[in-house]
């Protein structure tokens, strides 16, 4: 078996059993962190840098896959649906988190819980939309808007809640942490994807005797293609190439994301293992409150689907962007702006988030019955 085949099989294996590996990562990290609590306490700057680096490495591959340049037409046709989705993403979920966080006694953990529910979704959420046969274009639109909006809403909600519990978190520090943790990998990921597309386009333009690398109705094929013909169909060619490249590199990007995410979760748990073992109620609170937030968000989604008669495809496009959050962003922001204890929710939420997503996929037949045909 070739190295490529082994990597592809590993990616598929991790994707299938990701939840088990997340739990395993937590279980392994707890005793390691507990018996090495002194190391984490005396090396706080190093720990902070490692967490930030792992968070960015986890984010970057998903940002490469996010298609953000062609959502103008989708926005024009989905104004009502977009507004409703943004209300759920930017108002209902964060405000519910703020209310529940008020019951968490550890202030830093409480602020981190708000952060974990204020961050945007990532392109990984779109994979669930694809599995559910939802509206991919609408989901991509929401993912991009949620990333842009989070640059302003995440610092606002964290700062608001921090002030309410008498914790001083400078707005400038919050803004810088969100910008570094979210905007940097987003820009680098988009530049990487656009650069690959342009390079492939140039190669096609240089081909005098070859056809396009895949078949589409409007793409010219044949043994000889003139430059004029290529130029007249360049838009289709670029879309075709992007699809081919995206499909080819997606397993490797997914593998990189999953491995770095597992390492990040393990490191976050190990960093605060002593606190979690000494006070297990904190972890139970986070998990319990997170389930309440999922229930509120799902109820809101079903309610607006019934009231506005949304289609099944649009509902699913909205649902997974609203439910699944990019906890790597929350971890990075929490560690940079608040403290390492604030990253505990970001480490625990990935242990239950896939379960909720999979259960929602299983509920697809029910959603089809209540959505507009």
**Model confidence over 184-226: pLDDT tens digits?**
888 888 888 777 766 765 665 555 444 444 444 444 444 444 4
- Bridge partner residues of 73 (DSSP): none
The pLDDT, as a whole number, for residue 218 is 41
Dihedral sign (CA 228, 234, 237, 238): positive
DSSP code at position 363? T
Q: Of 162, 187, 184, nearest to 174 (Cα)? A: 162
Fold of the 3-370 domain: Na+/H+ antiporter like fold (1.20.1530)
Cβ of 206: how many Cβ atoms within 10 Å? 10
DSSP code at position 188? H
The pLDDT, as a whole number, for residue 108 is 92
Q: What are phi and psi of 312, to 5 degrees?
A: -60, -45
The pLDDT, as a whole number, for residue 208 is 43
Q: What is the mean pLDDT of residues 95-112?
A: 94
Q: With 0-12 CB in 10 A as exposed, 13-18 as middle and 19+ as buried, what is 177?
A: buried
The pLDDT, as a whole number, for residue 117 is 95
Burial 290-320 (b: 16+ CB within 10 A, else e): beebbebbbebbbebbeeeebbbbbbbbbbb
How far apart are the C-alpha atoms of 50 and 177, rounded to whole Å? 15
Of 55-64, 157-166, 241-250, 330-339, the range with the lowest mean pLDDT is 241-250
Supply 163's token pair: 């002030």
pLDDT band at 61 (very low <50, low <70, confident <90, very high): confident
Q: Taking 60 as the threshold, does the pLDDT of residue 65 lie above it?
A: yes
- Bridge partner residues of 372 (DSSP): 311
How far apart are the C-alpha atoms of 33 and 269, rounded to whole Å? 7
pLDDT in tens, 123-177: 668 778 877 888 888 888 898 888 889 989 999 999 999 999 888 887 777 888 8
The pLDDT, as a whole number, for residue 16 is 80
DSSP code at position 120? P
- 351: CB partners within 8 A, 6+ apart: 19, 22, 23, 26, 265, 287
The pLDDT, as a whole number, for residue 93 is 95
The pLDDT, as a whole number, for residue 217 is 40
Task: Tell me what the pLDDT averaged over the chain comes to.
Answer: 82
Among 169-178, 313-322, 334-343, name the most confident range. Answer: 313-322
Looking at per-residue confidence, does 75 or 368 come out higher? 368
pLDDT in tens, 224-268: 444 445 445 555 555 665 666 566 677 777 788 888 888 988 898
Of 228-232, 272-276, 353-357, the range with the lowest mean pLDDT is 228-232
Q: Taking 90 as the threshold, does the pLDDT of residue 88 lie above it?
A: yes
Torsion of CA 36, 42, 44, 46, to 10 degrees: -80
- 53: CB partners within 8 A, 6+ apart: none
């Amino acid at each position: 078996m070739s190295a490529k085949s082994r990597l592809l099989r590993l990616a598929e294996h991790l994707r299938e059993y990701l939840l088990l590996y997340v739990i395993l990562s937590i279980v392994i990290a707890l005793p390691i962190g507990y018996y090495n609590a002194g190391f984490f306490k005396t090396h706080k700057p190093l720990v902070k840098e490692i967490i930030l680096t792992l968070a960015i490495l986890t984010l970057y591959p998903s940002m490469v896959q996010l298609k953000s340049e062609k959502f103008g037409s989708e926005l024009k046709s989905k104004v009502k649906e977009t507004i409703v989705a943004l209300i759920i993403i930017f108002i209902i979920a964060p405000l519910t988190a703020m209310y529940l966080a008020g019951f968490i006694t550890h202030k830093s953990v409480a602020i981190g819980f708000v952060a974990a529910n204020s961050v945007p979704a990532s392109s990984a959420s779109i994979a669930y939309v694809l599995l559910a046969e939802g509206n991919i274009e609408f989901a991509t639109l929401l993912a991009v808007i949620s990333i842009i909006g989070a640059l302003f809403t995440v610092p606002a909600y964290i700062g608001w809640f921090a002030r309410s519990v008498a914790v001083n978190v400078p707005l400038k520090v919050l803004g810088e942490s969100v910008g570094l943790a979210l905007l940097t990998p987003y820009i680098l990921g988009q530049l990487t994807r656009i650069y690959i597309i342009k390079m492939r386009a140039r190669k096609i333009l240089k081909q005098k005797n070859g056809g396009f690398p895949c078949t589409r109705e409007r793409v010219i094929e044949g043994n000889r293609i003139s430059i004029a013909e290529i130029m007249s169909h360049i838009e289709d060619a670029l879309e075709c190439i992007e699809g081919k490249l995206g499909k080819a590199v997606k397993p490797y990007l997914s593998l990189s994301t999953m491995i770095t995410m597992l390492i990040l979760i393990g490191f976050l748990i190990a960093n605060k293992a002593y606190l979690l073992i000494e006070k297990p109620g904190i972890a139970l609170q986070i998990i319990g409150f997170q389930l309440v937030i999922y229930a509120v968000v799902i109820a809101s989604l079903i309610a607006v689907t019934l009231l506005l008669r949304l289609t099944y495809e649009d509902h699913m496009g909205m649902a997974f962007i609203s439910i699944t959050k990019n906890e790597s962003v929350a971890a990075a922001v929490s560690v940079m702006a608040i403290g390492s204890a604030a990253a505990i929710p970001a480490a625990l939420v990935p242990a239950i988030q896939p379960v909720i997503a999979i259960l929602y996929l299983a509920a697809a037949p029910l959603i089809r019955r209540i959505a507009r045909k």
